[in-house]
Amino acid sequence: MAWLARRDGSVVIGYGPFEAAAEMPTAATAFYVGGFALEETRPWQIPADLEVIGCDEFAARYAAVPPPHCQWQTLEGAPFSAVFQEVMTAIHAGLFEKTVPVVTEIGNCESPAAAIIAAMARQTAPLYSFGWSLGGSGFAGATPELLISLDGLCLETMALAGTARRDDRDVFAVDEKEIREHEYVAQSLVAKLTDWGRLHRRPRDILDLGSIVHFLTLLRLDLHQAQSPETLVKRLHPTPALGPLPRTAETLAMLSEWRTRLGCPSEFGAPFGVWHGGRFEAVVAIRGIWWNHHQLSLPAGCGIIEASRLVNEWRELRLKREAVKAGLLGRPSGGL
């Protein structure tokens, strides 16, 4: 099973068996499922059966499914601290302006798939519910981050970076470190898109997700000529919200090594999308749970720049993970 909630309030759901394809099938619905490194040779998954329903109906199907009973292991800070110091050394050496390591909390749950899918199906806008379940493994989440919305020659995307507790919103709005982190992402996207069409950048705003807030800048591009979803994904992913700045083979390799060392699932932060009805939408696969039979993985990333401090980043990572856990238990998550 695969699904993605779209901005128009619909949910595109595909059922297996799935046929993997190297290229997008223009005449059929297909899901874009891959890893952060975009190494898959056949990322398109074509479902055997398909339905499109409203978000409310999708959530109602799982209304009777109880929350999962998860047991979480204590996440030790030492591995992240070591990576943080390596990142800061690389920043001071001029290799990075920003990068995004990921920590992963491990847990256990009996029969997690249905309960996790149900929890994510209940999430509503401005979160985008998504998921992929195959056999005894899969992942599901509700992300606030849209990577691509492509409808003809109209491309929309966003810069979403900078995080704080909702209670700290007033201070967050003038926090120079958080604003600088956000602008790295926004300006990088502008630079990648300007030569492809007429760009419209909205003023920086604050996205309120209930328990946490983010800086948000919406971008729209009127393309000079049609571009394929694959081309756009490769141009935009990873944005500095999840990847390194500058994005080079060396900085990507360093980030990949840190992600692997900290146990990050390969699909975390990767594009997850669907081509349906002549429109392509892809989100950034964050704020979710990965499962393999009874074992759970809960990843979260943080943007590190020169002004970052270890204790603050560790606090942000916990804030993001706790928001996901709140959503699993049926409480207002706000920050999934």
Q: Is 198 exposed, middle or buried (0-12, 13-18, 19+ CB in 10 A)?
A: exposed
Is residue 335 within 8 A of residue 212, CB to CB? The reply is: yes
| CA separation, residue 29 to residues 11, 43, 59, 118, 173 (Å) | 13, 13, 22, 23, 41
- The CB-side HSE value for 283 (13 A sphere, CA atoms) comes to 22
Structural domains of the chain, with CATH: 2-328 (3.60.120.10)
Question: Going along 127-210, which residue ranges are E strands?
Answer: 128-134, 137-143, 146-151, 154-165, 197-201, 205-208
Compute the distance between CA of residue 222 and CA of residue 268 in angstroms, rounded to an integer.
Answer: 29
Residue 332: the pLDDT is 44
User: Which residue's entry shows tokens 């720049």?
Assistant: 305
Other C-beta atoms within 10 Å of 19: how many? 14
User: Contacts for 263-266 with beta carbons within 8 Å, 24 or more apart?
Assistant: 263/103, 263/104, 263/106, 263/297, 263/299, 264/102, 264/103, 264/104, 264/299, 265/104, 265/139, 265/290, 265/297, 265/299, 266/35, 266/36, 266/37
Compute the distance between CA of residue 203 and CA of residue 294 in angstroms, rounded to an integer.
Answer: 44
Residue 327: the pLDDT is 85
Compute the distance between CA of residue 269 and CA of residue 256 in angstroms, rounded to an integer.
Answer: 12
Cis peptide before 43 (omega within 30 of 0): no
Query: What does pTM read for this prediction?
Result: 0.94
Residue 124: the pLDDT is 87
Residue 330: the pLDDT is 66
| CA separation, residue 121 to residues 57, 67, 102, 288, 318 (Å) | 9, 12, 25, 12, 23
Compute the distance between CA of residue 20 and CA of residue 48 in angstroms, rounded to an integer.
Answer: 11
Is residue 298 within 8 A of residue 104, CB to CB? The reply is: yes
Q: What are phi and psi of 226, to 5 degrees?
A: -60, 140
Question: Over the chain (336 residues), what is each successive 10-residue block's mean pLDDT?
Answer: 96 97 95 96 97 96 91 96 98 96 96 92 92 95 96 97 93 94 94 96 95 95 96 94 93 97 97 97 97 96 95 95 86 43
* Closest C-alpha among 194, 244, 241, 195 to residue 219: 194
Compute the distance between CA of residue 270 and CA of residue 284 in angstroms, rounded to an integer.
Answer: 6
Which residues touch 82 (CB under 8 Å, ≥6 apart)?
none
Residue 331: the pLDDT is 55
Residue 334: the pLDDT is 43
